[in-house]
Amino acid sequence: MELHQVGSEDFAPERNSLDLCFTSPLYFGWEHYSEEASQSYVKFPTQHDWLHGYLGATLRNCAHGLKQHGILAINVASVAAYPNLAKVFLRYAEDNGWRLVETLQLQLSKMVGLKHIGKSAFKTEPLFVFKKKP
């Protein structure tokens, strides 16, 4: 296993060197960790630029690096700043060489204040699992 601390839009893996790409990208207009030029919302200031520049580059880098039967698992959810992001992303991915295999639910934090009988309530987001189209 190798871990790389670099933006997914900038990471250039060797061709056919990866079995799995997993990413949980920063959502457009939602997560601002700093004002640095490396931040995706700074580099790609509109929804269109962000989808095509940031997520598009991420998908291209994964396609380049993944082996023929490799898996891309990507956590993308709709948020207030981009309310139809998941739907737009799925269409974009499928139009750009990816086949959706399944959608899992990524369990996030426990939801405070919700009362459920016998079990805890957790926030979830979709985890889309793709393979490259032949």
CATH code, 50:
3.40.50.150
Tell me what the mean pLDDT of segment 16-24 comes to: 93
Q: Is residue 28 part of a domain?
A: yes
Q: Is residue 1 part of a domain?
A: no
Q: Is residue 81 part of a domain?
A: yes
Range of the domain at 42: 18-132
Q: Is residue 11 part of a domain?
A: no
> How do residues 39-98 score in pLDDT, each as one tens digit?
777 888 888 998 999 999 999 999 999 999 999 999 999 988 889 999 999 999 999 999
Q: Is residue 10 part of a domain?
A: no
Q: Is residue 65 part of a domain?
A: yes
Q: What is the pLDDT of residue 112?
A: 62
- Beta-carbon count within 10 A of 46 CB: 12
- Which percentage of the chain shows pLDDT scores above 90? 55
Q: Is residue 7 part of a domain?
A: no
Q: What is the pLDDT of residue 80?
A: 85
- Structurally, the chain folds into a number of domains equal to 1
Q: Is residue 29 part of a domain?
A: yes
